[in-house]
Amino acid sequence: MTATPVDTTSAAVEFAAPLPGLSPHTAFRLERIPEAQGLYALRASEADVRLFLIDAPSVGGGYAPRLPEAARAEIGAAEASDLRVLVVANPTDDGVYLNLRAPIVIDRETGRATQVILEDPAYPIRALVGG
């Protein structure tokens, strides 16, 4: 699959393996939400499936997880600087929660992606935005 670079308003994203709970889907579109800095919708190409993602630099608090080398190799990214890191945002009645333990990593050039499960307990699965 040839994808457009993921720094545009809308780009193709192809996961190396289905995300937990979203099997069998691996083909998605990453669409920037213009009203919100750093916020994106990740939509399955062939189903009504959507996740909200936030660019890691927009998370704040110095969020900069150390990504395992295997994640880069899995999607074929040559350098760590080729990677874009996003986190899943879950809006609820209580506010928006971020999953800082399982970032999504995308190769900026190819659109190949994977989700990384971090072992560092400093990164919670449910971090309330502004909490």
All structural domains of the chain with their residue ranges: 10-128
pLDDT the model gives residue 5: 45
Whole-number average pLDDT of the chain: 89
The pLDDT tens digits for 40-71 are: 999 999 889 899 999 998 888 889 899 999 99
20 compared with 114, residue with greater pLDDT: 114
Task: Examine the pLDDT at 2 and tell me if it is beyond 80.
Answer: no
pTM of the model: 0.87
Q: How confident is the model at residue 1 (pLDDT cuts 50, 70, 90)?
A: very low
**Burial tier of 17 (Cβ tally within 10 Å: 0-12, 13-18, 19+):** exposed
> DSSP letters of 23-86?
TT--EEEEEE-TTSTTEEEEEETTSS-EEEEEEHHHH-TT--PPPPHHHHHHHT-SSGGGEEEE
Task: Indicate whether 6 pLDDT > 80.
Answer: no
Provide φ and ψ at 58, rounded to 5°. -80, -15
Architecture of the structural domain at 10-128: Roll (2.30)
